[in-house]
């Protein structure tokens, strides 16, 4: 059916849509969006499982590195007082991890904002579409009620007043039939009345999910920021308890980063399949949920010259009937009022009802045109397939950078621990040369000279 005017799939959509997909048996799966099919679900789960594989590999490599550093280090000869080598490497590794982590945090905040903006645009388009559909139902109901009230009261009164003139009664009954025909035609224009699917409810559900998604990512970003702060503080203070806290937090955030990466990757792939050709899926889903005819859905979702307005015949007949009623009332006013002055009041009331109905009818014609609802459809697609998808890709990059930075941090902790100077008085009196701090903040004062038994001091 082609893409709707005003929306074109972006380069990211085309790129992700071309990626190969496979089920659990590694059999190729078509890239068409089909979330109800088991093979397609398995393909998306396999994409998410790649992140789980990456998490497992990173944990294995980190464990192997830590075992090698902590357990396979050769013993130092007795009396060796030089600090362990590699302080500069540890320092630069931690600094590199911090820089990468800070860059990932900035990218994450930007991606979270872009995703939120896209979802907000989607919700706003759904709310506006719901307002249009509600306005159509309201106008139709109001016009039908006005016409039915006019048939029951003014036209009935007019027939009673003009009972002595058969031709005038016939003209009044003609106006009655025309008003009843218009009311019947108008009732078929409220096509969304009684439909169980509500765009407003969909918008509220989307906003509800988005609030929790936004909150989850903000917490993840704050955890990443806390890890960076604890890393800086632990290296600057050379505090081993801060290193322990940093280790636990880094491990937790590492698992969360890989988990979010898998979820983001699967969502991005599925969203690209949907955004590559959204019309077919949306039309089938809406027809299944609403029970509306394909002619109505094609008209509003496609909105091109190849699809005619399914309500054009009803609108034309209603407009002609309203014009006939107007001319009949004018004829009755010219002929009946001079002979039956009491007919003037119901005729004036009928003229007022007709004028209001005609004004509402022109407004209804504008609302029933496909431009308004199709504009909301295009805005919803742009918000979801452009802003939200772009933000999702930035969040994926944030998760990847965070995982790399945290893995580097975890691998640097044992060496940083070994470089920390001892904190007991005996070590300070041993005369060994303390290692230099990893991150200089201030120079500690020199320790006081140590006393020996008998009050003697060590000679200089």
pLDDT tops 70 at residue 373: yes
* Mean pLDDT (whole number) for 45-67: 90
pLDDT at residue 55 in the model? 93
**Among 32-36, 140-144, 413-417, the least confident range:** 413-417
Q: Is residue 30 part of a domain?
A: no
Q: Write the DSSP symbol of residue 34.
A: -
pLDDT tops 60 at residue 278: yes
User: CB of 146 within 8 A of CB of 353?
Assistant: yes
User: CB of 384 within 8 A of CB of 271?
Assistant: yes
CA–CA distance, 240 with 369 (Å, rounded to integer): 70
pLDDT tops 50 at residue 27: yes
Q: Is residue 293 part of a domain?
A: yes
- Cα angle for residues 80, 86, 89 (degrees, 5° grid): 170
Q: Is residue 390 part of a domain?
A: yes
Domain count, the chain: 1
Task: Give the pLDDT band (50/70/90) at residue 399.
Answer: very high
What are 403-428's pLDDT values in tens digits? 988 888 888 776 666 666 655 544 44
pLDDT at residue 421 in the model? 60
What does the DSSP assignment read for 292-332?
Answer: --HHHHHHHHH-STTS--TTHHHHHHHHHHHHHHHHHHHHH
pLDDT at residue 438 in the model? 47
pLDDT tops 60 at residue 240: yes
Q: pTM here?
A: 0.82
More confident residue, 337 or 136: 136
Q: Is residue 459 part of a domain?
A: no
Mean pLDDT of the chain: 83
Map tokens 């290193």 to a residue: 243
What are 197-214's pLDDT values in tens digits? 899 999 999 999 999 999
Short-list 220, 277, 188, CA closest to 2: 277
User: CB of 187 within 8 A of CB of 144?
Assistant: yes
pLDDT tops 90 at residue 299: yes
Short-list 332, 358, 276, 285, CA closest to 10: 276
Q: Is residue 443 part of a domain?
A: no
Q: Is residue 303 part of a domain?
A: yes
451: phi then psi, degrees, rounded to nearest 5: -95, 145
pLDDT at residue 409 in the model? 80
Q: Is residue 10 part of a domain?
A: no
What are 220-237's pLDDT values in tens digits? 888 888 887 877 776 666
pLDDT at residue 7 in the model? 81
Short-list 361, 367, 294, 358, CA closest to 130: 367
pLDDT at residue 423 in the model? 57
What are 331-343's pLDDT values in tens digits? 888 888 888 888 8
Task: Give the pLDDT band (50/70/90) at residue 263.
Answer: very high
User: CB of 379 within 8 A of CB of 121?
Assistant: yes
pLDDT tops 50 at residue 36: yes
Q: Within a 13 Å sphere around the CA of 71, how many CA atoms are in the beta-carbon half?
A: 6
Beta-carbon neighbour count of residue 311 at 10 Å?
20
Short-list 118, 8, 5, CA closest to 390: 118
Question: In sequence order, what are the residues at sequence separation of 6 or more whose Cβ sits closer than 8 angstroms to the Cβ of residue 388?
Answer: 114, 115, 117, 118, 119, 122, 271
More confident residue, 90 or 11: 11
Domain that holds residue 387: 38-72+91-418
pLDDT tops 50 at residue 16: yes
Task: Give the pLDDT band (50/70/90) at residue 124.
Answer: very high
Q: Is residue 446 part of a domain?
A: no
pLDDT at residue 361 in the model? 94
Q: Write the DSSP symbol of residue 196.
A: S
């Amino acid at each position: 059916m082609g893409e709707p005017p005003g929306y074109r799939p972006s380069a990211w959509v085309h790129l992700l849509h071309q990626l190969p997909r496979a089920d659990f048996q590694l059999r190729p799966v078509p890239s068409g969006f089909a979330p109800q099919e088991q093979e397609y679900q398995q393909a998306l789960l396999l994409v998410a499982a790649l992140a789980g594989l990456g998490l497992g590999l990173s944990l294995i490599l980190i464990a192997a590195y830590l075992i090698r550093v902590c357990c396979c280090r050769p013993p130092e000869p007795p009396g060796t007082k030089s600090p362990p080598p590699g302080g500069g490497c540890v320092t630069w590794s931690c600094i590199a991890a911090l820089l990468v982590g800070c860059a990932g945090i900035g990218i994450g905040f930007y991606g979270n904002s872009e995703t939120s903006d896209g979802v907000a645009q989607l919700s706003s388009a759904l709310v506006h579409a719901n307002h249009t559909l509600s306005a159509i139902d309201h106008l139709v109901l109001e016009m039908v009620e006005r016409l039915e009230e006019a048939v029951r009261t003014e036209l009935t009164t007019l027939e009673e007043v003009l009972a002595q003139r058969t031709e005038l009664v016939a003209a009044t009954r003609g106006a009655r039939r025309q008003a009843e025909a218009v009311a019947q035609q108008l009732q078929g224009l409220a096509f969304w009345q009684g439909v169980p699917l509500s765009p407003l409810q969909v918008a509220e559900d989307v906003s509800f999910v988005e609030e929790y998604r936004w909150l989850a990512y903000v917490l993840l970003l704050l955890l990443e920021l806390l890890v960076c702060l604890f890393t800086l503080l632990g290296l600057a203070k050379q505090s081993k308890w801060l290193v322990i806290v940093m280790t636990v937090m880094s491990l937790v955030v590492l698992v969360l980063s890989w988990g979010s990466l898998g979820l983001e990757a699967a969502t991005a792939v599925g969203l690209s399949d949907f955004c590559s050709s959204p019309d077919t899926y949306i039309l089938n889903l809406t027809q299944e949920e609403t029970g509306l005819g394909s002619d109505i859905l094609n008209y509003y979702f496609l909105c091109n010259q190849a699809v005619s307005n399914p309500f054009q015949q009803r609108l034309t007949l209603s407009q002609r009937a309203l014009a006939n009623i107007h001319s009949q009332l004018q004829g009755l006013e010219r002929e009946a009022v001079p002979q039956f002055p009491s007919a003037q009041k119901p005729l004036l009331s009928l003229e007022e009802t007709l004028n209001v109905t005609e004004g509402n009818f022109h407004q209804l014609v504008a609302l029933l045109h496909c431009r308004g609802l199709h504009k909301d459809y295009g805005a919803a697609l742009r918000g979801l397939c452009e802003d939200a998808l772009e933000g999702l890709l930035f969040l994926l990059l944030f998760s990847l950078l965070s995982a790399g930075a945290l893995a580097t941090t975890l691998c640097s902790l044992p060496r940083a621990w070994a470089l920390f100077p001892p904190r007991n008085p005996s070590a300070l009196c041993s005369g060994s040369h303390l290692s230099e701090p990893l991150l200089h903040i201030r120079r500690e004062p020199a320790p006081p000279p140590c006393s020996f038994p008998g009050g003697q001091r060590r000679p200089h």
